């Protein structure tokens, strides 16, 4: 679907420490994810999310991640973190996402079964969640996410008109391959990582974050070189 080489946007998720936020920003991340799901080892309260988000420079977006949260809790968290994008990573309905987000941009996780025998129709899912800014593509795992599991990228449709965020088990070693395989299928593609840049659950590794972003840039350069699209002369 995408035809012109673009810079792949990067989200580093599950941050709970100041130094991890700073490392993500220094590495060139476009967004940071703050997990407001109490069962996650990366959980932060809305007040802590607000504190961490205040460290961000302009043009780096805080993303608030919810799993089957109540409308009131989502709205209360949003009031504390202005300018946030919302990530719904549970079983939320389109109507819930719309109501909870109001005017804020939101993404919904499409949790793709690891078992090829289990059907999953991403185009139908995209149509159901057509008001989402993007679909976040993740593996269907117990505990909803952050498990470091990849799903078979071959299960994705060859062409979809939505913006997508590839996630699920991405690492500095496999992210470039993921971008090369998945980006051509969507309008745009961003990537999202949590486990793959950690020293331990909830504790990020600055070197891994830098390696991850470097691998993304290498994939962008590879795609730009191999693209048949002529860029306008300067």
Ligand X SMILES: O=C(O)c1ccccc1N[C@@H]1O[C@H](COP(=O)(O)O)[C@@H](O)[C@H]1O
Binding residues vs ligand X (CB under 6 A)? 13-14, 33, 35, 37, 40, 42, 65, 67, 89, 136, 138, 144-148, 167-170, 192-196
CB of 3 or CB of 200, closer to ligand X: 200
Among residues 20, 30, 138, 192, the one annotated as catalytic is: 138
CB of 159 vs ligand X, minimal distance in Å: 23
CB burial readout 61-71, b (16+ within 10 A) else e: bbbbbbbebee
CB of 203 or CB of 224, closer to ligand X: 203
For residues 26 and 48, is the Cβ–Cβ distance under 8 A? Answer: no
Q: Tokens 């994008």, residue?
A: 85
Active site residue 128: no
Beta-sheet pairing, 198-200 with 203-204:
antiparallel
DSSP sequence for 197-226: GEEETTEE-HHHHHHHHHHHHHHHHHHHHH
Among residues 13, 78, 97, 162, the one annotated as catalytic is: 13
Q: Which of 47, 38, 41, 168 is nearest to 111 (CA)?
A: 168
Helix (H, G, I), strand (E, B) or coil at 101: helix
CB of 11 vs ligand X, minimal distance in Å: 7
Active site residue 97: no
CB of 38 vs ligand X, minimal distance in Å: 10
CB of 205 or CB of 224, closer to ligand X: 205
CB of 199 or CB of 221, closer to ligand X: 199
CB of 89 vs ligand X, minimal distance in Å: 4
CA gap 41, 37 in Å, rounded: 9
Which residues are marked as active site? 13, 138
């Amino acid at each position: 679907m995408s035809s012109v080489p673009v810079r792949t946007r990067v989200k580093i998720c599950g941050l709970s420490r100041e130094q991890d936020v700073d490392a993500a920003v220094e590495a060139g991340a476009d967004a940071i994810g703050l997990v407001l799901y109490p069962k996650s080892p990366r959980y932060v309260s809305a007040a802590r999310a607000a504190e961490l988000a205040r460290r961000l420079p302009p043009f780096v977006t805080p993303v608030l991640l919810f799993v089957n949260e109540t409308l009131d809790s989502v709205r209360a968290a949003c009031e504390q973190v202005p300018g946030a994008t919302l990530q719904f990573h549970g079983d939320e309905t389109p109507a819930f996402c719309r109501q909870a987000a109001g005017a804020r941009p939101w993404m919904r996780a499409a949790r793709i079964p690891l078992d090829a025998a289990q059907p999953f129709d991403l185009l139908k899912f995209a149509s159901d969640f057509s008001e989402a800014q993007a679909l976040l593509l993740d593996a269907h795992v117990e505990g909803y996410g952050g498990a470091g599991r990849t799903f078979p990228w071959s299960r994705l449709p060859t062409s979809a008109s939505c913006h997508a965020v590839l996630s699920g088990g991405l690492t500095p070693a496999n992210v470039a391959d993921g971008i090369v395989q998945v980006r051509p299928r969507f309008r745009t593609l961003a990537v999202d990582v949590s486990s793959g840049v950690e020293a331990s659950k909830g504790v990020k590794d600055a070197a891994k974050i830098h390696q991850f972003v470097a691998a993304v840039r290498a994939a962008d350069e590879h795609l730009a070189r191999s693209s048949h699209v002529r860029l306008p002369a300067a």
